Amino acid sequence: MIDTHYETLNDETEGKVKLCHGDDSRGASPCHYGNVSAVDWLSSLNDKIESEPQDVVTILVENYVQPEHLEQVFIDSGIMDKVFIHEMNEPWPTLQSMIDQNTNVVIFWEQGSDSNHPWIHDFLTHSWTTNFGERSTSEMNCDVLRGDGNQQVYHMNNWLSNAVGLADPTQADEANDVDFLVERANECWNQHGKRPTFIAVDWWQEGDVVEAAERINLQNSAN
pLDDT tens digits, 110-127: 887 788 899 999 999 999
Contacts 24+ apart (CB under 8 A), 94-103: 95/56, 98/56, 99/53, 99/54, 99/55, 99/56
Instruction: Examine the pLDDT at 156 and tell me if it is beyond 80.
Output: yes
In tens, the pLDDT along 190-223 reads 999 999 999 999 999 999 999 999 999 999 999 9
pLDDT tens digits along 171-194: 999 999 999 999 999 999 999 999
pLDDT for 25: 81
pLDDT at 37 over 90: yes
* Phi/psi at 157 (5° precision): -75, 140
Q: Is the pLDDT of residue 10 over 80?
A: yes
What contacts 118, CB < 8 A, 6 or more positions away? 85
Q: Is the pLDDT of residue 31 over 80?
A: yes
Q: Helix/strand/coil (H, E, C) string of the chain? A: CEEEEECCCCCCCHHHEEECCCCCCCCCCHHHHCCEEHHHHHHHHHHHHHHCCCCCEEEEEEECCCHHHHHHHHHHHCHHHHECCCCCCCCCCCHHHHHHCCCCEEEEECCCCCCCCCCEEEHHHHEEECCCCECCHHHCCCCCCEECCCCCEEEEECCEECCCCCECHHHHHHHCCHHHHHHHHHHHHHHHCCCCCEEECCCCCCCCHHHHHHHHHHCCCCC
Query: Which pLDDT score is estimated for 23?
Result: 85
Q: What is the pLDDT of residue 114?
A: 82
Amino acid 200: pLDDT: 95
Percent of the chain past pLDDT 70, that is, above it, reads 100
pLDDT in tens, 48-102: 999 999 999 999 999 999 999 999 999 999 999 999 999 998 999 999 999 999 9
pLDDT score for 73: 97
Per-residue confidence at 2, pLDDT binned at 50, 70, 90? very high
Q: Are 132 and 120 in contact (CB under 8 A)?
A: no
pLDDT > 80? residue 6: yes
